[in-house]
Amino acid sequence: MTNVTRRQKLELMLEATPDDQMLRYMLAMEYDKEAMPDRSLDLFRGLMEQTSPYVPAFLMAGQLLARLDRIDEARLTYQNGIAEARRQNNDHAAGEMTGFLQALP
């Protein structure tokens, strides 16, 4: 019997429901955990560019970009995320991203 990883399970579930934002977000997080930053960022970007952007993707993409020392991209991601969070009346997320933005070098 083969062991199916969490990432593989998420990939299978996403095949069945490709528009599920939460599944795409969770898969992006798994790619990050498995040291696949490009795949993770691709999923985060897709979530950020949707008609109704998924606000947590901005936060996590910004953190990932900062860890990769891509500071200008992280800064822009946080700025866009703050604006989107405010559009969606998500003051908590806007505040959290503001803190991360201010902490960038």
For helices 55-67 and 71-87, angle between their N-to-C axes, nearest 10 degrees: 170
Token pair, residue 19, equals 């528009």
Token pair, residue 57, equals 């993707």
Q: Please, where are the H alpha helices in the chain?
A: 6-16, 21-33, 37-48, 55-67, 71-87, 91-103
Average pLDDT for 24-41 = 97
* Separation CA 35–CA 20 (nearest Å): 23
- Would you kindly state where each structural domain of the chain is located, as residue ranges? 6-103
Task: State the pLDDT at residue 3.
Answer: 86
Class of domain 6-103 (CATH, top level): mainly alpha
Q: What pLDDT band is residue 45 in, cutting at 50, 70 and 90?
A: very high
**pLDDT tens digits along 53-105:** 999 999 999 999 999 999 999 999 999 999 999 999 999 999 999 999 999 99
Contact 72, 80 (CB under 8 A): no
Residue 79: C-alpha distances to residues 25, 27, 57, 60 (Å): 20, 24, 13, 13
